[in-house]
Amino acid sequence: MSFYARLVQAEERGEPVAVCTVVRSHGSTPRRVGAKMLVFEDGSIYDTIGGGEMEQRVIQAALEALQDGSPRLLPYSFVDPQRGDVGVCGGQMEVFVEPITPPPTVIVVGSGHVGKAVAHLARWLGFRVLVNDDRPEFCSPDFIPDADGYYPIPAAELPAQVNIHRWTYLVLTTRGVDVDTAALPALLETPAAFIGVIGSRRRWATTRKKLLEAGVPEAQLERVVSPVGLEIGAETPEEIALSIMAQIVMLQRGGDGKPMNAA
């Protein structure tokens, strides 16, 4: 498989990957300008930019780039290892590290009135949108035309069908406690950035009690945000969707939810 075919495969699978490219080479170096390597979240690589100490440092920098999302330009000298250089070849090189992460994704679990509104607004805001409902008639392009993917299956089966990563925001807008109780144990095992559950505090208290009785660790339940959404006095499905997506954007962008004119 070629380098670019493997990169396309990673994108199709939703795998975070860092592209490491030699952009400058002077003197004697292991590889020349244009040499490339892929680094994946688990530290595995595809292709090489020269091996040795230099490549190990690039891999570590690439893993850090995948964590913070920022590219890096890394200079290396091959002169004197005693002063921290990566080799003795005598040359110099620079490596550009570009992290490529999956698009931020909203998965709407439960495609009723609110779920439909959340899907519409999330798509308008630029998120990739997937919808799930175990009722096929509520999980189709005819009912929700704004989604990128449809999963008419029990929500507990989603992790086996969808790559839920740390750029994924799960929004449960389901029809009741029983659906949430069945779905959450599997969803809590994923690295999703956000798991929000619609409903009253009483509804969540009931769901939480059932999950604890089923053996779900309390530490996992602390990940759940319920009731989901910012308090804006929302009543209609569209207003509730606005409050939910406002909370997700706040988390994504590092906001604090305070009024813009707050001191």
pLDDT band at 230 (very low <50, low <70, confident <90, very high): very high
Whether 202 shows a pLDDT value over 90: the answer reads yes
Whether 251 shows a pLDDT value over 80: the answer reads yes
32-66: pLDDT as tens digits: 899 999 999 999 999 998 878 788 889 999 999 99
Tokens encoding 114: 């609110």
What pLDDT is recorded for position 263?
A: 57
CA–CA gap between residue 123 and residue 126 (Å, rounded): 5
74-111: pLDDT as tens digits: 887 776 556 655 555 668 888 999 999 888 999 999 99
Whether 157 shows a pLDDT value over 90: the answer reads yes
What pLDDT is recorded for position 84?
A: 52
CA–CA gap between residue 263 and residue 206 (Å, rounded): 38
Please state the φ and ψ torsions of residue 108, each to the nearest 5 degrees: -95, 115
Q: Which residue has the higher pLDDT, 184 or 1?
A: 184
Query: What domains can be seen in the chain, in order of their start residue?
Result: 3-100 (no CATH), 105-253 (3.40.50.720)
% of the chain exceeding 90 in pLDDT: 74
| Angle (deg, nearest 10), helices 113-124 and 237-253 | 40
CB-count exposure of residue 229 (10 Å: 0-12, 13-18, 19+): buried
What pLDDT is recorded for position 83?
A: 65
CA–CA gap between residue 214 and residue 208 (Å, rounded): 10
164-198: pLDDT as tens digits: 988 999 999 999 999 999 999 999 999 999 999 99
Q: Which residue has the higher pLDDT, 23 or 25?
A: 23
Whether 159 shows a pLDDT value over 70: the answer reads yes
Q: What is the pTM of this model?
A: 0.81
Q: Comparing C-alpha atoms, which of 156, 191, 195, 165 is closest to residue 14?
A: 165
What pLDDT is recorded for position 75?
A: 85
Of the ranges 49-63, 118-132, 180-194, 203-217, which one carries the lowest mean pLDDT score?
49-63
Q: Which residue has the higher pLDDT, 146 or 152?
A: 152
pLDDT band at 142 (very low <50, low <70, confident <90, very high): very high
How much is the average pLDDT of 124-151?
94
